[in-house]
Structure 1
Amino acid sequence: MVEFFTTTGVGIGLLITGQVLLIVLPLLLALAFLMYADRKIWAAVQLRRGPNVVGVFGLLQSFADLMKYVVKEVVVPAGADKAVFFIAPMVSLVMALIAWAVIPFNDGWVLADINVAILYVFAISSLEVYGVIMGGWASNSKYPFLGSLRSAAQMISYEVSLGLIIIGVIISTGSMNFSSIVNAQRGDLGLLNWYFLPHFPMLILFFISALAETNRPPFDLPEAESELVAGYQVEYSSTPFLLFMIGELVAIVLMCALVSLLFFGGWLSPIPFLPDGFLWMFLKMLFVFFMF
């Protein structure tokens, strides 16, 4: 059995497909509850209840929204470039997903443990701009086009700041491999060995740049409801709009993973006598997501 998955072309293909599904399926399932958590957090800030009708405590609200988007009619604007109009949300989602290929969740739990992982993530995330520009241009409307230009300019601008900030971590570690960066933060002092202390100013700048990169408030200028209605997504409905939204959420969770790996020790335990593991990585990502 082991030889089949390591020597034959079909076996290797099945193995890679299984590994990809082990990352993508839990990630997409987690997005449903992260969206619910995001809406609940915003509701608490605004002193209201938030979603609380569908399911226990409203936990199934995201699945109800999913069904609504899937069964709605796909409306294509008159004069729109149909092919580009439908390809754009797919590009946005796929680019956000394939960046996860180099993200480790535990020691050895990574699809591709390459030595230029940071470079790979930034190369892929910079390609997400094309999905936004394609969506705005293909809609054949001035509001989506202006929104896509804003979003592209903002995403490209903050890619530069994110890259410059990470240089400090790369110099401290001597590697662009995420596993090496996490292991470099290992020590007898637990969380006091993590990079958030010596690189604290860089952590703050990285977090602010990540907010801008993912179009989160107060950097949601590309949407600008008062000016551009809903930015580059204004002409989208049904499943294409859902793909754009999932792509944005995947990018947000990716930034949470990057903050956890680069500054908070990834899967390392904050207390030396407790074992390391995936649970710590998950909790750190949830903490960073709460701050988003």
Structure 2
Amino acid sequence: MRDHQLAVMARKDFDDAVRSKAVWVVSALFALIAILATYRISQINFPEGVPAGVVPKLVLVTLTNPITWIVPIIALVVGYMSVVGERRSGSLKLLLGLPFERGEIFVGKILGRTAVIGVSIAVGFVAMVVMIPVFVGLGAPGEFFVAILGLFVVTLLLGAVFTTLAVSVSALANTRRQAITTVFALFFVTHVAWTGVIQFLALPFGGVPRAGSGGWYLLLSYLSPTAAYTRVASLVFTNFPVPYPGIAMDGIGQRARIVESLQPTPFYLTEWFAVLTLLAWAVGAGLLAHAVFRNADLG
């Protein structure tokens, strides 16, 4: 693949995708959720003695849960028609008639759509930067801006992973219906079924892990891309007064109780293993889709 052609393809795809009204509607929704969550936390009466710098970080911790829903939705909406749409319209053949290889088109679309996701995420984070000081103050401005910048970078990684998944689905699909069905199934599996099935198998109704199931329950739980994101995001909240902040952020309190019984902390709960998990989702999907797309009949 040639760097110049990749850049041209990425720029073209960015220009095409960024004009989508759906992208801006979902981006505005992301910004609205950030504002509402910030306001909600501002109404909490914190005990005396809580450091002022903790409250803005608490807002960011709370926002990680809606981020794991809204950012994948934006990425899937942006990416699901990226390849199959041009394939069905015939414009993909026109691109191949120009000096573009299939790999350059595929990777260029991932880069272009990821840039669109970056813009959408930036809209939401700008809303956070504006509203958090208004509602709860900054406390320690330096710590706050480092934390929000770190969370922004980690959220970009989550967006890039789901964008790659969406473009890969689009490259594998033959019709628009196939692409829609597959991205819907992908979202359902990663956000609902994954945790639900693992909890059903590992945890009885009382919420206590079955004998010997605690370790593999956590391992399988954090192989989900959204759960891995919460672990990576915990890198941002060093010295935060919550043990295992990544676990606290994903909203599954049972995991935190299991972790307390596992000493030393197993490798699959480290933030760096979570980074590798996210990369494995993106690279695995991209390699599979590229291998199929490279030899696919585009008729």
Which TM-score applies when normalising by structure 1? 0.31
Greater relative contact order (Cα < 8 A, sep 6+): 2
Which TM-score applies when normalising by structure 2? 0.31
